[in-house]
Structure 1
Amino acid sequence: MTPDQYCDDKAAKSGSSFYASFRFLPEPTRLAITALYAFCREVDDVVDETHDEGVARTTLNWWRKEIANLYDGTPQHPVTRALKPHVARLQLPREQLLQIIDGMEMDLTQARYNSFADLRQYCYLVASVVGLLSARIFGVSNPATYVYAEKLGLAFQLTNIIRDVGEDARRGRIYLPVEELQRFNVPAAELLAYRESDNFRDLMLFQIERAEALYAEALAALPAEDRKAQRAGLVMAAIYRATLDEIKLDGPQKVLNQRLSLGGARKLWLAWKTWMFA
């Protein structure tokens, strides 16, 4: 198996909405973004699938050293070997790859966020930075596109948090800010007991409205001259916004006890429609 095949297999097995948006890209761009996505999956899996915190930290430090190897031209892992041809060609910043690892590491020690400002910093590391790297891979002619990419990454992560509230609670994590739980009178204990309530529904509607506003801000910030190059991001936005719509229609309080996901056929239809008409 080649490094590119390894990355493609990693991305395909994830079942992610992101993978659906890669299919229409020219090969060099598709290979680069798939390698980046596989890197994100690798470091995320370290935190989610390693039950020993010490082992997880050691593995993340190994990845930091592997990023150094990548920029020295001697990567060892299939993912970094797949990234190697694109690092210099696209001038991918080393610091941003390291920031993704830093964000993933936060999940080892922090299971609560007091305010949205605190949560936003976490989201910047694990999602907005990925958006910035992705935008660079897709092609940027106007620097304002990076504003779009940062906001879109935040909107994606907030959508993930909304969709995965129940799944995260089962891991003992609550990403919804403590201040907002208190404002809507939703005790953390109710989330950890997966107890649906009217207050929780109102809290989730508030989260959805904020995410929707961020999608609107991101799309408004995208310069017209970069819209075609950034179509893959627009495809992802269409899929994620459709997911939010389904959560809202189904009853947002239900995310505690079920994880809503769009079917593969619908993702492909949204991807094709957005790609053709974006």
Structure 2
Amino acid sequence: MSRAELDAAGIRGAALRNSYARCRLLNARFGRTYFLATRLLRPDQRPAVHALYGFARWVDDIVDEPGTVDPTVRLREVSGRVAADLAAGRSGHPILAAVVDTVARYRIDHHLITDFLFSMRMDLTVTEYPSAADLAVYVRGSAEVIGLQLLPIFGTAGPREEAARHAAALGEAFQLTNFLRDVGEDLDRGRLYLPLDELAAFGVDRERLDECRRLGRSDRRVRQALAHFIARNRAVYRRALPGIPLLAPDARPCVTTAAVLYQGILDEIEDADVDVLRDRAIVPRGRRLAVVAPAVLHSMTRGLRSATARRPRRRTEPGRSGTDSPSRGRS
């Protein structure tokens, strides 16, 4: 299926095709929700989406899963390579080749890539955020720009500026859901993405969160604080979702499905009594498939109808109808 997608997108050259395939593998392995949603896109759109998500996953791993090389040094090297390759319009790197090609094909603003890298560098030094305003700086580069990167690939059916505003909001909403889902794992990495001042309003501080993580259970104050953040997250979804009708029709099922599945994570957190400090909340596979399968079937049916409508009609001989039946003019 990957080969068919690359052919549909007109991607040529073994090295470039291998780069796209590698990004697709990263998306499939680590971004299960997003990868499922991409099945609803046209085949020619999928490689570019895989390239951007694969790149984001690759950089995120440099920060979260340090290897033998200091992540600060590694990320500085990557940032320099990205800047040089974007300026050149091509790359020989096994992952960046697809990213640079996608940016060039869809004329994606370079600053949307460099802003993402800036937020990733923040993860190496910033371990907590005093307020929502402080966190917003990180979210802008780590999530909002992803929605803006995808907008040229999806296309718009409404005002581009308005669609961009909603796309950024949806990126924010997805990221806030990630923060809630991953509170425990982030604490294990020494990071906290919930604003300290809002936690304090519920009598919660970082020490209390660390203690609950160690014990494997939340207390009443922590659950109240997390319920507050869930409510705020849902409000961001309500602000973002009106932008979906502003996207090109072919992109709407994909984005709608991703939004439904991600809001399902919030449902799972609530169903678990907001106890994310013990287990990571995930949408069960059956529920994911129940959401995606009908949308995929609808998308396939729509594609077949579209292909049939585009099929050229057979030319007819003079005196013959389009169905090869005798002319009605004969007596």
* 8 Å contact kept, 2:38–2:46: yes
* 8 Å contact kept, 1:4–1:35: yes
For 1:62-81, list aligned pairs within 5 A.
Answer: 62-67=77-82, 68-81=84-97
Structure whose residues are more often helix by fraction: 1
Q: Tell me what 1:267 maps to.
A: 288
* 8 Å contact kept, 2:245–2:252: no
1:179-213 CA-to-partner distances (Å, cap 9, x unmatched) read 01110001211111225111111101100001111
Unaligned runs of 5+ in 2: 1-16, 300-331
Matched, 1:250 2:254: no
For 1:96-111, list aligned pairs within 5 A.
Answer: 96-111=112-127
How far 1:5 moved relative to its partner?
1.6
How far 1:128 moved relative to its partner?
0.6
Matched, 1:200 2:226: no
Matched, 1:165 2:187: no
Q: Tell me what 1:181 maps to.
A: 199
* 8 Å contact kept, 1:135–1:230: no
- The structure showing larger relative contact order (alpha-carbon pairs under 8 Å, at least 6 residues apart) is 1
Find the structure with the greater CA-based Rg. 2
Query: Matched residues in 2 for 1:73 and 1:91: separation?
Result: 11
Q: Tell me what 2:254 maps to.
A: 232
Query: Matched residues in 1 for 2:253 and 2:272: separation?
Result: 28
Q: Tell me what 1:92 maps to.
A: 108
Matched, 1:133 2:149: yes
* 8 Å contact kept, 2:144–2:167: yes
Query: Matched residues in 1 for 2:36 and 2:245: separation?
Result: 24
Q: TM-score, normalised by structure 2?
A: 0.78
Query: Matched residues in 2 for 1:175 and 1:225: separation?
Result: 30
Q: Percent identity?
A: 34
Query: Matched residues in 1 for 2:281 and 2:180: separation?
Result: 10
Instruction: Indicate how the Cα distance of structure 1 residues 73 and 246 shifts in structure 2: closer, same or farther if over 3 A, else same.
Output: same
Aligned residues: 275
Unaligned runs of 5+ in 1: none
For 1:20-31, list aligned pairs within 5 A.
Answer: 20-31=36-47
* 8 Å contact kept, 1:234–1:274: no
* 8 Å contact kept, 2:60–2:120: yes
